[in-house]
Amino acid sequence: MTHHHVPSSLLFDYATGALSEGPALAVSTHLSYCGDCLAALGRLEEIGGVVLQSLAPAAVDSELLSRTLARLDEQGANERKPEPEDAANGTLPPVLRAHLGIGLKDARWRFAAPHVREARLTLGGPSHRASLLRVPAGRNVPRHTHRGVEYTVVLSGGFIDRGQAYRKGDFCAADPSVEHRPVAMDDAECLCLIVLDAPVLPMGRIGRLIAPFLR
């Protein structure tokens, strides 16, 4: 069960198609684990459909209207179920698989920071960077802050950040006001999805050493 959810303003942007691919991928990944946010999305989609229907016909592109109504019929967001995968078994949520291209075990893991390994995911455009990050049990990501927004979704294991525990499926967004040093929980490796719209800003001695690897 997830405890840290997608903020409602972000879910609204997701529902209206206003999010770009990177943040949308973070939201869909969380939705793979979270029935509460799926239900909230269903309510937003229904409201959107009702609003479209209630507008004067001339005000709405008829194709958009029929597409939206068809989507509501097809998907019935309220009936959709989360499809959690246990990444600890080597299986990624379906929404992530195509972006990695190969299986989790065969991914190319490269150095991101001491003990931290990263596998890049493919996105359609250059506006965001998406990666899988592995942090061994009890190890931390070096202290850093952000030039933009950093979205994190836990795929397996968990981490502690600023006194909060994040576990499988949990969603976290950190902006330039946040300086942090997330630490993987002691009992298992932490595997996360990370989406960035600008490089992170490492801090301290280790941060300066690894800065070239984070670009």
Q: Which residues bind Zn ion (CB under 5 A)?
A: 5, 34, 36-37
DSSP state of 143: P
Q: Which one, 37 or 112, has the nearer CB to Zn ion?
A: 37
- Residue 184 C-beta: closest distance to Zn ion, Å: 22
Residues 6+ apart with CB under 8 A from 16: 48
Which among 180, 172, 119 has a CA at the least distance from the CA of 146?
Answer: 180
Cα distances (angstroms) measured from residue 32 to each of 4, 52, 125, 171 = 14, 27, 23, 11
Question: Smallest distance, Å, CB 31 to Zn ion?
Answer: 7
Q: Which is nearer to Zn ion, 28 or 140 (CB)?
A: 28
Minimum CB separation from Zn ion for residue 51, in Å?
24
Q: What is the separation, in whole angstroms, between the first and last Cα of the chain? A: 34
Nearer to Zn ion, 137 or 173 (CB): 173
Closer to Zn ion by CB, 21 or 36: give it. 36
CA distances from 104 to 81, 97, 155 (A): 24, 9, 12
Least distance in angstroms from the C-beta of 11 to Zn ion: 8
